[in-house]
Structure 1
Amino acid sequence: MTFTDLPSASGIEKVENRYYVIGDDSPYLFTLNENFKIIARTKLLEPKEVTGGRIPKSVKPDLEAITSLSIEGENFLFILGSGATEYRNKGYLVPIDRGRLGKVLTVGLTPLYQGLQKNQQVTGTASLNIEGVAANEEFLYVLQRFSPGGQNVLVLYAMEEVIPFLMGLSPAPVPRHIQPWALPDLEKIKTGFSGVTAYDNGQLLFTASAEETPNAILDGQVYGSLIGWLSPNFSATSAQKPQQVAIVTEQDGSVYKGKLESISLVEPLKDGGYQAVAVADSDDGQSELIVLKLTF
């Protein structure tokens, strides 16, 4: 399904019977119903410049990650910028109650992102490029995407330390664990994390894509996408391989050449596996929503 009025989809989160989608150069949070129809737009920010519904690359907020979490019994959507430039260091908390969204709260992420950028375990010699976030009661999981000079990294924060920071009550937390991951190449191109969602028992379902680009800012040719499961390994000291990983294919078995940006699990399937929904950014102002059957 292609959206011409939802630009540059970069994150999706399912809460109850609604899907919430962000675009990396859009000022809006989009609400979709069960039939994937846009039923609401919630403005997250007031950009100085918008052209054709898109914020120019040089100043875009680069909203790349979204998850749901609970703060003092209240449910929120938490949206993060990538941190790759000074314009990309904001986060947003949006209260959500039975499908109704409340007043958007802006969160300054500069202290958190400065700590990550300076940590060579996270960035190496590359720029910070946060592409995925997921949460459960215990941890906030943050994905750093590979770019030349760096690697794919999972950063874990304790929720008991994240929440006071988000509420402006404490300094930026220190990661509880930093874990590099070794993902397979696609057509000899390195793949990089692009999205993540949490499942039972600390398992994480991630997306990754192969994009030929020299850094965390420029777009490039896309060779395909991966989906896989991983579990944090607190005792590991070297890059780990995902427990399961698969190349995303079309119904005819050919490799899907789009750039998956984010994924959300929908339900287990009666014949095994899961149904999931993902979004993809075509880098031309349009977006794709894709229903996936996971059988690995």
Structure 2
Amino acid sequence: MAYVPRDGRRMRRRAGGHRSPVRVTVDGVAALRFDDGTPVRAASGIAPLGDGWLVAQDDATHAAWRRPGSVTRVRVLPPVEGHDTFAAAAGTKHLKPDLEVACPAEVDGAPAVLLLGSGSTARRVRGVLVRLEDGRPVSVAADLGALYERVGAVLGVPADQRNLEGGSRLGDTVRWYQRGNLAAGVPSASVEVPLADLVDAVLGRTGPRAVPVTRPCRHELGEVDGVGLAVTDAVALPDGRELLSAAAEDTPNAVDDGPVVATALALVDGPDVLAVARIPEVGGRVHKVEGLALREVRGAEVHLLAVVDDDDPDTPSAELALRAVLD
């Protein structure tokens, strides 16, 4: 089964099964900059915090707190060998914490944001909790390496292809997503982890090895121009289904960047892929959506905030207002 989008790129999906249509519209685009004018870099996750949104940067030790009329830095990790930002051109990319997941959470009943590293190297296995104390964000972090090893084992993913880039909260559970790479024979997949256990592991109340990892499943999203679509993030809908963001990025492994030929939203119900719809290009550019957050649902319309990683530290990350109509 195949269809040809307006730009001529050919997206292929496996035949068989009912596919519910999804239509995606970009309602707005904004460049994310801190109050001092410097760009928000490599935005990779977004979740609500207080009266705004916390945006994770995968190549920095601080996040961006985007509030009405203001974007401020929030330190989430200490400097790494004296560095707070990381880039291939500076020879420091291998040091970056690579925080990719931003998920709503609670700490002792108070709202918080859970940030998780990708696990693609031994330096990228930390978890962070950000919460507000007297209206100011505070962070606590922990090494979760033993948990990442268990997730990889449950999914059957070798350590050099592990790349946990997305997460959605479904009630008391986090569904944690492996970003696949079809060129390397690694499918997109996910597991379920109890949110409370994840929070306790970051706070040091329990060991990472004690966190249950269950219900692995694969997600076959198809391909564009021969490049497989792979999960970059996810949000849960009120009816229990999820919307996944996906990118067709031509890269041989879980560390190196490559050209992105298309991005898409996928509507899924557990392992069942109900529909895949391309995210329209804006200004002739493919925006690599790496973070999704749910704003509201109005009947069949789902309103989302998405953040974009342009793989360029000098380019401000874009924030997209997306609208998905689920027919």
Identify the TM-score tier after normalising by the shorter chain: 0.7 to 0.9
Among 247, 251, 255, which residue is 1:217 paired with?
A: 255
Shift of the alpha carbon at 1:219? 0.2
Query: 2:239 matched to 1:207?
Result: no
2:176 matches 1:142: yes
Aligned residue among 284, 293, 308 for 1:264: 293
Aligned partners of 1:250, 1:220: CA distance in 2, in Å?
18
Q: Secondary structure at the match of 1:166?
A: helix
Which residue among 21, 27, 30 is the counterpart of 2:64? 30
Q: Between 134-143 and 215-224, report the one with greater CA deviation.
A: 134-143
Q: 1:105-160, CA deviations, whole angstroms, 9 ceiling, x for partnerless residues?
A: 112111101112333x3416852101012224321110001021311111101335
Whether 1:47 and 2:80 are equivalent positions in the alignment is: yes
Letter of the 1:157 counterpart: V
Q: Which runs of 5+ in 1 are unaligned?
A: 233-239
Aligned residue in 2 for 1:189: 227
Q: Distance in 1 between matches of 2:64 and 2:192?
A: 27
Instruction: Indicate if the aligned counterparts of 1:134 and 1:198 stay in contact, CA closer than 8 A.
Output: yes
Displacement of 1:71 in angstroms is 3.2
Q: Could you say which residue in structure 2 is the equivalent of 1:274?
A: 302
Residue 161 (structure 2) aligns with: 127
Q: Work out which of the residue numbers 33, 46, 62 in structure 2 matches 1:12.
A: 46
CA drift of 1:96 comes to 3.1
Distance 1:38 1:242, change over 3 A: farther
Aligned counterpart in structure 1 of residue 104 of structure 2, from 42, 52, 68? 68
Q: Normalising by structure 2, what TM-score?
A: 0.78
Query: Residues 48 and 97 from structure 1, CA distance in 2 versus in 1: closer, same or farther, beyond 3 angstroms?
Result: same
- Paired residue for 2:320? 290
Q: In structure 2, the residue corresponding to 1:7 is in which secondary structure?
A: coil
Displacement of 1:266 after TM fit?
1.3
Q: 1:16 to 1:160 in 2, by over 3 A?
A: closer
Shift of 1:187: 1.6
Q: CA contact under 8 A between 2:140 and 2:202: conserved in structure 1?
A: no
In structure 2, the gaps of 5 or more residues are 1-29, 33-37
Kindly indicate whether the alpha-carbon contact (under 8 Å) linking 1:126 and 1:149 is maintained by their aligned counterparts in 2.
Answer: no
Contact 2:231/2:247 (8 A) holds in 1: yes
8 Å CA contact 1:223–1:258 kept in 2: the answer is no
Matched, 1:249 2:285: no
Any conservation in 2 of the 1:7–1:54 contact (CA below 8 Å)?
Answer: no
Runs of 4+ in 1 over 4 A off after TM superposition: none
Separation in 1, partners of 2:242, 2:220: 15
Aligned length: 281
